[in-house]
Amino acid sequence: MTNWKHIAGGVVALAVLGAGGWAYAKLNTARSAVADDRVALADVKNPEPAAIARGEYVMRTGDCVACHTAGKGPFAGGHEIATPFGTLLSSNITPDRRTGIGAMTEREFFDAMRHGQGSKGFLYPAMPYTAYAKLTDQDMHDLWAYMATVEPVENPVNENGGMRFPFNVRLAMAGWNLLFFDNSGFEETAGQSPQWQRGKYLVDGGTHCSVCHSPRNLLGAEVASRYLQGGNLGFWYAPDLTGNPHAGQGKTPAESLVEYLKTGGKTSLASGPMAEAVEHSFQYLTDADLRAIAVYLKTLPASGVTRPAPLPAESPAMQRGALRYEVNCSACHGVAGEGMGNVAPAFAGNPALQSDDATNPIHLMLVGGRAAATHDKPTGAGMPSFAWKMDDRQIAETLDYIRNTWGNAARPVDPAEVARLRERLGAGKNLPAN
């Protein structure tokens, strides 16, 4: 006679073991055992100069200074990061013992960087440990050596004080990690060149491109099936990086991608968070690494975004947009949308302008913007705000003209989109016409 109680008990035991193994794989920090667990960062003396130099390079790939710098100086934290769940403040990562990471050992540093487990509990994935998990032991050792040379700054930061309940409970991030965190290091892909492997390592690890350029679900996790197909980033949109020929990088030569990352671009100019990434991170990377990134990106399969039919040029709204463009925009961006070299980007054939998500051009029309200022191109061109001059319908019509002329094609911009972003940005209303 079958003993169903024993069978049921066995099934439960197997389920518990399976769940335990799953949880261990997600939360296990055993990889960090390669790091020293005795000497605190503040007590590290005279790291190897070569290791410091390599570590600074790792820091540049990770763009650490951009997110961890506010009013108190480099790496002292306090930078606001808006999320759908509230506002986070970046932590103080200087070697200050009390308010920074000076009391951390190297192993604790590894745990935070690669596993999202810090001295105050679980970290939020706004700190991209989900990507830094891919960093090699050598890169982590070198980064530790560099961080030991940073000037300590006393600056207490309440990182999650602006998060809404229950998202301000750090322990909840353990559950998030169980559901979404890939706690594994970088693995090479068989059959690919060393250059391609290096590019993927940089994209998926240090430069953490998918953190911004992949869409996220309702719980803030990246949608793996739409890897690098574009994602919302606060008041900006990080565009499609795949081989899509319409709204992605399918028609962009690899060398143009290298120029964009190194200098802020020419045909398309980096602005917003990407300008910060170029200024603080990408311009410091070697040409070989930038080419590796470009080579990898150029192999990504195209997203499913299709090219819509362009809006008819003879429509009254497009005619009004054309006139407004000629009066307000053509002096810099050209009568034929050809741009002005390093000063103003070209509009004709610009894939970033033809995305289904029009957040970026709306944002720039409302509050203006500044291109990246780099060593090769030190004068970051600026664009003024037109919020005072155009109402929501007029901005939408102008963008419709730009997005549907000179071979471009994109869905129409809804004036309600402009109104919502105007309010969120605090751009103010346009002045009444005389």
22-39: pLDDT as tens digits: 576 778 999 999 999 999
pLDDT at 280 over 60: yes
- Only one residue has tokens 């935070």, namely 112
- Only one residue has tokens 């200087």, namely 94
68 annotated as belonging to a binding site for a ligand: yes
Alpha-carbon gap, residue 123 to 115, rounded angstroms: 9
Query: Are 350 and 239 a contacting pair, CB within 8 Å?
Result: no
Contacts 24+ apart (CB under 8 A), 183-190: 183/25, 183/26, 183/27, 183/28, 183/115, 183/133, 184/133, 185/31, 185/133, 185/134, 185/135, 185/136, 186/134, 186/135, 186/136
333 annotated as belonging to a binding site for a ligand: yes
Alpha-carbon gap, residue 379 to 334, rounded angstroms: 20
Write the DSSP symbol of residue 370.
E
Q: What average pLDDT does this structure show over 381-392? A: 92
Tokens of 138: 């050598």
H/E stretch holding 144: helix 137-147
Rg of the chain on CA atoms, in Å: 24
Phi, psi angles (nearest 5°) of residue 81: -125, 110
Tokens of 169: 């409970």
Q: Count of CB atoms within 10 A of residue 331's CB?
A: 11
Alpha-carbon gap, residue 373 to 379, rounded angstroms: 6
pLDDT in tens, 211-257: 999 999 999 999 999 999 999 988 999 999 999 998 888 889 999 99
pLDDT in tens, 80-102: 988 888 999 999 999 999 999 99
pTM here is: 0.90
Query: Are 54 and 141 a contacting pair, CB within 8 Å?
Result: no
Query: Could you tell me how many residues make up the chain?
Result: 434
Tokens of 377: 């191109």
Q: Domain residues of the chain, as ranges?
A: 31-180, 194-297, 316-425
115 annotated as belonging to a binding site for a ligand: no
Phi, psi angles (nearest 5°) of residue 397: -65, -40
Q: What average pLDDT does this structure show over 47-76? A: 94
Please give the CATH superfamily to which domain 316-425 belongs.
Cytochrome c-like domain (1.10.760.10)
Q: Which amino acid is at 286?
A: T
Q: Is 33 helix (H, G, I), strand (E, B) or coil?
A: helix
Residues in Cβ contact with 136 at an 8 Å cutoff, skipping those fewer than 6 apart: 185, 186
375 annotated as belonging to a binding site for a ligand: no
141 annotated as belonging to a binding site for a ligand: no
Query: Are 413 and 366 a contacting pair, CB within 8 Å?
Result: no
Alpha-carbon gap, residue 17 to 391, rounded angstroms: 61
212 annotated as belonging to a binding site for a ligand: yes
* Alpha carbons within 13 A on the beta-carbon side of 356: 12
Residues in Cβ contact with 275 at an 8 Å cutoff, skipping those fewer than 6 apart: 264, 369, 370, 371, 372, 380
Q: Is 68 helix (H, G, I), strand (E, B) or coil?
A: coil
Alpha-carbon gap, residue 319 to 300, rounded angstroms: 38
pLDDT band at 10 (very low <50, low <70, confident <90, very high): very low
pLDDT band at 272 (very low <50, low <70, confident <90, very high): confident
Write the DSSP symbol of residue 264.
S
332 annotated as belonging to a binding site for a ligand: yes
| 81-95, 129-143, 195-209, 260-274: range with lowest mean pLDDT | 260-274
| CA-angle at 146, arms to 140 and 151, nearest 5° | 135
Q: Count of CB atoms within 10 A of residue 15's CB?
A: 10
Whole-angstrom CA distances from 387 to 3, 22, 226, 362 are 76, 52, 34, 10
Tokens of 188: 């090479």
% of the chain residues with pLDDT over 70:
94
Q: What is the fold of 194-297?
A: Cytochrome Bc1 Complex; Chain D, domain 2 (1.10.760)
Alpha-carbon gap, residue 10 to 13, rounded angstroms: 5
- Note whether 194-297 and 316-425 share their fold: yes
pLDDT band at 15 (very low <50, low <70, confident <90, very high): very low
Q: Is the dihedral of CA 100, 102, 103, 105 positive or negative?
A: positive
Q: Angle 172-180/4-27 helices, nearest 10 degrees?
A: 100
Tokens of 259: 């120029």
Cis? peptide before 166, omega within 30° of 0: yes
Write the DSSP symbol of residue 340.
B
Q: Count of CB atoms within 10 A of residue 354's CB?
A: 26
Q: Count of CB atoms within 10 A of residue 4's CB?
A: 8
Q: What pLDDT, on a 0 to 100 scale, did the predictor assign at position 109?
A: 97
pLDDT in tens, 356-383: 999 999 999 999 988 888 888 877 678 8
